[in-house]
Amino acid sequence: QVQLVESGGGLVQAGGSLRLSCAASGRAISSYDIGWFRQAPGKEREFVAAISWSDGYTNYSDSVQGRFTISRNYAENTLSLQMNGLKPEEAAVYYCATVRSYVAPMPSTWGQGTPVTVSS
């Protein structure tokens, strides 16, 4: 069983930056890839970025490509999301989740989420 705990959310001005972290635990973590998703109020949860846990290959949604960077620390079992140039419409609860493949990121296990507020 994999457990995921996100942190790092908060309030940031439009155009600003924020770095999210996700601590992963459980013996099975190396069996999965892992990614970030977000859910804004009244909207469906959407894919943001994913990374191959073993190789570090990445996949981003078109909307964040070039502004967000996903990374993982293999030794410490942590995942990060560096978010630059944040937009007000990107205010959401951000979740990390295990996925079967970083190229086809269907989520399975979720963390509890961390809220991000972007002021205009």
**pLDDT of 28 higher than 80:** no
CA pair distance 102, 62, nearest whole angstrom? 15
pLDDT at 29: 76
**pLDDT, tens only, 83-107:** 999 999 999 999 999 999 999 999 9
Q: What is the mean pLDDT of residues 64-74?
A: 96
User: How many residues belong to the chain?
Assistant: 120
Query: 32 pLDDT band (50/70/90 cuts)?
Result: confident
CB atoms within 10 A of CB 8: 16
Upper half-sphere CA count for residue 27 (Cβ side, 13 Å): 0
Residue 38 and residue 46 in contact, taking contact as beta carbons nearer than 8 Å: yes
